[in-house]
Amino acid sequence: MSASSTGASRGTEAARDVERLRRLLGGEHTAWLLDRVRRRIELGRPLTGTVTLGRASADQRRGVERLLGRRAGTGASLSVSLDEVDAVLRSSGAAPDGLAAAVRQLTGDVTERAELAAAQSRAWAQAHQPLDDLLARRPELTPWRSWLDSTGLLRRLAGTPDAAGPLAADLLRVLDALPSPGVALGRLAATSTGDAHALDDGRPLATLALAAARVLGGSHPAGDGSAAGRRAAWAAVGVHRDELSSTVLCLGLPGGADSPTGRILAICREAGEPCVLTLRQVGPGQDRGDLGVGLGVVYLCENPIVLASAADELAGRTPPLVCVNGQPSAAVISLLAALAGQGARFAYHGDFDWGGIRIANGLRERIGWRPWRFDARSYQAALTTVTGGELVGRPVDAAWDPDLRPALEHHAIRVDEELVLAELINDLGAPHAW
């Protein structure tokens, strides 16, 4: 017999075996048995023992009888020995390789759930690997990475490992650009991902990147859910919504006549009025001109009340004063960078609480400053004259004074800038020689 004839004969025989298998096990009345066996394979359980069908129909009972070649008993339930089924299939030639092979032949390949889970775990680990690599370069992001694991946020936002990979790659490009000396949110999105709206509120990438920005700014990755909180978190890493929404409040900056920004400052200084400048006016690349401070001192406060009180009480006698207004915006950082570039020095005061210290630490990393009544000695002195509130939150070291944290922890009292306004205004009325 030729090879081709032998092959054809074997093919015909195999087809007959498959047909016999379908008649024995592939009918609608044995479908329940097929489903039970397939589920056992998926769960990695052995195909031994018995399976039972409650309230079996007469047709289902006859289907099992045809399969086993014997009566299937009486009663409402129907029990079938998987060992017996396996033996019947092998001995009949319908499935020489046994019950498991028969199920795969009739229903398609079966992946064990443990194997599937292991494959999924490997795929997710691979999707997270770029973020793990990031920590080697940016250990300060460790709290954010741990939070991602605890919340499963990347999994929930991406849905599948295949979708998580590109999302993580975009995320890394965004985070590699942070903190920024000042960039619009849309521009950051466009240059990092090619999509100017990828960092819009509610987008998966924005949710992940914003959580990281909060950590870089010294906050919890979850944030408070408010629009103001999102703006502040982006601002803390030098990202602004646009050139007009990011502003800086200042008072007493001399300005000059050689640029529009300088002329605006000069007019406000002459009138003794506060001035609000946008990032468009003070950002990198803008024509800021000579801001008039030169090598002089610029006082920095955390809260607008200090600047407003100085305007009320000192009018045109106020030395240069800039309010960082909580987490410094891109406009604040840009103005201070411009002043520093022209030789200015800075004296800073903020709230004596953990949030105030975090703001001051972040600012100090960008702009060098000396404390202005903002050290452990000043805190102790303030407690002798004012009644502060309860100190709450997560403690943090003060980069400029190692004694400040222990003092705050010991007394557990916060002192807001509003409580020491008199001393601050006195200083501004008769500036120290720094």
C-alpha closest to that of 196 among 206, 186, 205, 204: 186
Residue whose tokens read 């009345």: 29
Range of the structural domain that residue 89 is part of: 3-110
In this structure, are residues 42 and 111 in contact, taking their beta carbons and an 8 Å threshold? Answer: yes
DSSP one-letter string for 356-385: HHHHHHHHHHHS--EESS-SHHHHHHHHTT
| DSSP run (H or E) holding 52 | strand 50-53
Which residues are bridge partners to 345 per DSSP?
297
- DSSP bridge pairs for 154: none
Last residue in a domain, options 221, 240, 259: 240
pLDDT of amino acid 158? 87
Whether 434 maps to a domain, the answer reads no
Mean pLDDT, residues 208-212: 94
209 pLDDT above the threshold of 90: yes
Segment 140-156 shows an average pLDDT of 90
pLDDT tens per residue, range 390-413: 999 999 999 999 999 999 999 999
In the chain, how many domains are there? 3
**pLDDT surpassing 80 at residue 9:** no
Q: Clarify whether residues 320 and 298 are in a common domain.
A: yes
C-alpha closest to that of 310 among 433, 434, 423: 423
Half-sphere exposure of 242 (CA within 13 A, CB side): 4
Same domain, 281 and 413: yes
Tell me the pLDDT band of 94, cut-offs 50, 70 and 90.
Answer: confident
pLDDT value of position 123: 79
At residue 109, the pLDDT reads: 79
Distance CA 123, CA 418 (A): 54
Beta-bridge mates of residue 321: 251, 299
In a domain? residue 117: no
Same domain, 357 and 232: no
CA distance 379 to 30: 82
Indicate if the pLDDT at residue 10 is higher than 70.
no
Q: Degrees (nearest 5) of the Cα angle 26, 27, 31?
A: 80
Q: Establish if 120 belongs to a structural domain.
A: no
Please tell me the number of Cα atoms within 13 Å of 118 on its side-chain side: 6
Q: How far is CA 370 from the centre of its chain?
A: 33
Distance between start and end Cα atoms, the chain: 108
Cα distance between residue 290 and residue 10, in whole Å: 94
Q: Are residues 282 and 400 in the same domain?
A: yes
Please indicate, yes or no, whether residues 217 and 350 belong to a single structural domain of this protein.
no
pLDDT of residue 416: 95
The percent of residues in the chain predicted with pLDDT above 90, rounded, is 44
Model pLDDT, residue 227: 75
pLDDT tens string 63-93:
888 888 888 777 788 898 888 988 888 888 8
Give the Cβ contact number of residue 381 at 10 Å.
14
Q: What is the pLDDT of residues 341-365, one digit of tens each?
A: 999 999 999 999 999 999 999 899 8
Same domain, 236 and 251: no
